[in-house]
Amino acid sequence: AEGAIVDIRDSRVNPSVIPAVPAIVVFGEGISPADPSFRSRVQVGNADTGFNNSMTSRIFYAGALYNEQVAAGNNPLVIISIGPQLNAPGVLDDQSAAQAIGQIALAAGIPIEDILIETEGVDLYSTAVEIVNALNSRGIATGTNADILLIAPILNTSRAVSTFASLGVGAVTRPTDQFTFQLNGGQLVANIADLLPSVDALTLTTRVVEEYLTAVYYFLRGWLGNPMML
């Protein structure tokens, strides 16, 4: 039907509006439901079990942003956080996992010299601390302006930005894992099944409630730079 094909040639990013940043940060997300403490980590499997699809997509998104930065005359460091690996069958150790993730980043168009794999952070806060330490150790100045481009699941972006702010680092978010509804001719498509409970709806609700409670915990610990950002 006419209008079903969209020409995106005029929607390409204008390099003049891309904030020049010293680093692009990719947050991982766990896939090991047996151990809730690993929810914020990425478990990197071997060739038989494959990789986390969401994480792979984020890395390729980071590659696109990296090349936009290069085209604009900037050369940022790309920090990919996967956290320590779970000692379980089919899961690589930290070093092997970092090498595997590095190969994905190379395939995404990021040079090896601009890739840093973070394997120490066990949650959002400790990961942010490790990333800030990595920036400082490389002499990269930080402040309250846009210091990093942050690629993270949309449910975590507000807490992540506020956490980095508490550590003196400004972040511009590039959210992923967004939840949308199907539209047809500008109208929301719904049916009777949408009114019934489902596993997907319960999972999403659980994640939203969990994020809210975690944000409250971060606030009580003083880990949020500006709670009003949430």
Model confidence at 30: pLDDT above 60: no
Whether 184 maps to a domain, the answer reads yes
pLDDT value, residue 228: 58
In the chain, the number of structural domains is 1
Is residue 9 domain-resident? Answer: no
Inside any domain, residue 42:
yes
pLDDT-derived band of residue 40, with 50, 70 and 90 as boundaries? very low
Determine, yes or no, domain membership for 4.
Answer: no
Region of residue 139 (phi > 0: left; psi between -120 and 50: alpha; otherwise: beta)? left
- The answer to whether residue 76 is domain-embedded is yes
Question: What average pLDDT does the structure give for the chain?
Answer: 75
Q: How many CB atoms lie within 10 A of CB 41?
A: 24
How far apart are the C-alpha atoms of 128 and 133, rounded to whole Å?
A: 9
Tokens of 172: 């511009």
101-131 tens-digit pLDDT: 889 999 999 999 999 999 888 888 999 999 9
pLDDT at residue 145 tops 70: no
Looking at residue 179, its pLDDT comes to: 60
Q: Which domain holds residue 83?
A: 19-229
> Considering the entire predicted model, what is its pTM?
0.74
What is the C-alpha to C-alpha distance for residues 81 and 6, in angstroms, rounded to an integer?
35
At 209 the pLDDT is 81
Is position 10 within any domain? Answer: no
Residue 158 near residue 182 (C-beta atoms within 8 A): no
- Tell me what percent of the residues of the chain surpass a pLDDT of 70: 62
For the domain that residue 99 is a member of, what is the CATH number?
3.40.50.620
Condensed to tens digits (0 to 9), the pLDDT of residues 61-85 reads 999 999 999 999 999 999 999 877 6
Q: Which pLDDT band, with edges at 50, 70 and 90, does 41 fall under?
A: very low
User: Within a domain: residue 191?
Assistant: yes
Q: Is residue 83 part of a domain?
A: yes
Residue of 176 and 177 predicted with greater confidence: 176
Over range 195-221, report the average pLDDT. Answer: 77
